[in-house]
Structure 1
Amino acid sequence: MTTTTTMIAWTQAAYGGPETVTRNELPVIEPGPGQILIDVAATALNSADVRLMRGEPLLVRLGFGLSRPKQPVQGRDVAGRVTALGDGVTGLSLGDRVAGELDGGGLAQAVLTEAAKVVAIPDNVSDVDAAAVPLAGGTAWQALEAAAVSADCRVLILGAGGGVGTFAVQLAKLRGARVHALSRPEAFDALTRLGADEVSDRAELGTLPRDHYDVIIDLGGVAPLRSLLQLLRDGGRLVSVAGGEAHVFGPLGRMLRGVVLSIGRSRKFVPLMATAKPEITRSLLELVASGRLTPLVAATLPLAQAPQALALVDRGGQIGKVVVAVDRGVPPSSRA
């Protein structure tokens, strides 16, 4: 049982920008069967958080609330310590450090979740690094799996400087691939340190050689699909993780176009809708613990600046992840 009854959380009463997120005091809910309560140490933010904050594309409101978010607290990637266990929870103990991709709720001092959604954090991995891993690292992992990236593959990654991209570069190198990273020039040094064999300005896409790459990982969602398919060798795979900025239907239109364009061709379009997979998070954290994978954190802000953190992600352009850190040295009822 937790000894605190209230917590600070940043909530939304309506869809909109970061200015709609306000500081509130909420009750701490005891876990039910199969659930745990986590004292939040760090929450990493993703583009998914700002899309849900804004309720865009409009299609997502069918599942997440028509006029306002069903989950009023954003923040899906959480690291922290278990403070209460519901009936039937096994494999976890009070005080265990855990991380996972949850259903939101991370921009708070505590969060309730199903125990099955989290995995243990290795002792030598920080809370900030652990929070940065689940969604971005998991998406990169699933994209490379979908593309069947193996040793000696020539891999082009669009949007390589973002949260997913910085993981994709490293994971592709761990598979033995030769990686060409496209991003803004400001990210070139970081991408080279992470192992990219070549780095180019995203504006140079039109100058890249045709029939050259085995795999393209598209994290930007704006480059013309026909042009990307022309860059592939016969039998190559274009994995589309992002789907552009369509206001109503989001990625669906782009994904449909990609499938149509690849019909009857040896160059295949592979749409990816990544999902939370705790077993992948566990493998990624093991790689971090071993020093083979580095979460790149662009900025760490305190919980008191949660709206500013959301604004950073909303604006885009960071090299790596934005993380909100919570002071775990103060009880939830008095932290700010």
Structure 2
Amino acid sequence: MRAAVQHRYGPPSVLASSEVGIPSPGRGDVLVQVGAAAVHPGDYFVMTGEPYVVRLVFGLRRPRHGIPGRDLAGVVAAVGKDVTALRPGDEVFGWSTAGTLAEYACVPADNLVPVPANVSVVHAAAVATSALTALQALRKIANVQPGQTVLVTGASGGVGSFAVQIAKALGAEVTGVCSTRNVELVRSLGADHVVDYTETDFTRAEQRYDVILDNVEAQPLAAVRRALTPTGTLIPNSGHGGRWIGPIGRIITARVRSGFTRQHLKPFTSVEERQDLLTLADLLATGQVTPVIDRTYPLDDAADALRHVAAGHTRGKVVITV
């Protein structure tokens, strides 16, 4: 099969289109013929091996899995002996830790759910990581309730575009922060209010929010907290932090400061949960959530797709078609 393969950490040029063997599913696995696979900043970090902390998980000297990618959608080609809920021919979406930028990928059956009939394979591929992050941040971490005010920074990006829609589905009054060129996009996602950060600094405005999902880190934590209500919740879903520890430094800072204020500072890491993936499938099926696709690339241009992601300012998701 054809796949995007890397043998060392580095920039997108380390990726090469190569022929490799088709993997064999284990007892609880599903072999998926990949139709599309989304890429996001996390894939770029794993490819480059920076911040260096990612190497503790993905391989110290070189990537443990030579094929990058995590999110996918496609058709079940074969199933392991213990798999009963899926069968060949089913259209599915979800995530895999074994690499998805390939014609086939082996995926644990619990990491997959059926694609709703009204959703294309490209749109389904865009969902898993970014939409799960938005859903868990808003519903599980912030416990957003109807009528609460929610502000989403980076509202036109991968996580942000899902977060605006999910917050609306939860009944919140939503404000999205984005650049001028994305104001109409964010408004079309259902945002009640849109702040153009090139004209207005939301941290210095009078409005206070019950929940802020900060996907950008354009402002220090102390500044963002000014826009919170006295008992509001701030979820910092970003952080640069240099080549060694990346966002971990901001996470530690947020946790320490949370102990000295009535405000809730809650950095988190999304967890792969099948029930949340099923919830997202329902939101897709009912039209409450629609993935925003920035660009699509063919598999042979996977390096260009990751360059585009690394440049920042994507509108929604970048998807590779196979």
Change (3 A) 1:194 1:211: closer
TM norm structure 1: 0.92
Q: Aligned with 2:246: secondary structure?
A: coil
Change (3 A) 1:30 1:206: closer
Counterpart selection for 2:132 from 114, 138, 142: 138
Question: How many Å apart are 1:261 and its aligned residue?
Answer: 2.0
Identity, % of aligned pairs? 39
Instruction: Supply the distance in 2 between the matched residues of 1:115 and 1:168 (Cα, whole angstroms).
Output: 26
Contact in 2 for aligned 1:180/1:196 (Cα 8 Å): yes
Whichever residue aligns with residue 110 of structure 1, its letter is: Y
Contact in 2 for aligned 1:222/1:244 (Cα 8 Å): no
Instruction: Supply the distance in 2 between the matched residues of 1:292 and 1:262 (Cα, whole angstroms).
Output: 33
Instruction: Supply the distance in 2 between the matched residues of 1:308 and 1:25 (Cα, whole angstroms).
Output: 19
Change (3 A) 1:94 1:8: same
CA offsets, 1:1-35, max 9 Å, x none?
xxxxxx00011011111111001100112212111
Q: Aligned with 1:192: secondary structure?
A: helix
Question: How many Å apart are 1:260 and its aligned residue?
Answer: 2.0
Partner of 2:232: 236
Contact in 1 for aligned 2:155/2:163 (Cα 8 Å): yes
Whichever residue aligns with residue 201 of structure 2, its letter is: L
| Match runs of 1:243-258 below 5 Å | 243-258=239-254
Instruction: Supply the distance in 2 between the matched residues of 1:85 and 1:17 (Cα, whole angstroms).
Output: 35
Question: How many Å apart are 1:244 and its aligned residue?
Answer: 2.4
Counterpart selection for 2:180 from 181, 185, 189: 185
Give the ranges of 4+ consecutive aligned residues of structure 1 lying more than 3 Å apart after TM superposition: none
CA offsets, 1:207-244, max 9 Å, x none?
53357111110111342001111211111000111122
Change (3 A) 1:129 1:267: same
Contact in 2 for aligned 1:98/1:121 (Cα 8 Å): yes
Question: How many Å apart are 1:264 and its aligned residue?
Answer: 2.9
Contact in 1 for aligned 2:203/2:224 (Cα 8 Å): no
TM norm structure 2: 0.96
Partner of 2:146: 151
Question: How many Å apart are 1:304 and its aligned residue?
Answer: 2.0
Note if 1:287 corresponds to 2:262.
no
Instruction: Supply the distance in 2 between the matched residues of 1:8 and 1:248 (Cα, whole angstroms).
Output: 33
Q: Aligned Cα RMSD in Å?
A: 1.4
Whichever residue aligns with residue 150 of structure 2, its letter is: V
Whichever residue aligns with residue 216 of structure 2, its letter is: G
| Count of aligned residue pairs for this structure pair | 320
Contact in 2 for aligned 1:211/1:230 (Cα 8 Å): no
Long gaps (5+) in structure 2: none
Whichever residue aligns with residue 171 of structure 1, its letter is: I
Question: How many Å apart are 1:259 and its aligned residue?
Answer: 1.9
Whichever residue aligns with residue 30 of structure 2, its letter is: I
Contact in 1 for aligned 2:98/2:107 (Cα 8 Å): no
| Match runs of 1:153-168 below 5 Å | 153-168=148-163
Contact in 2 for aligned 1:287/1:293 (Cα 8 Å): yes
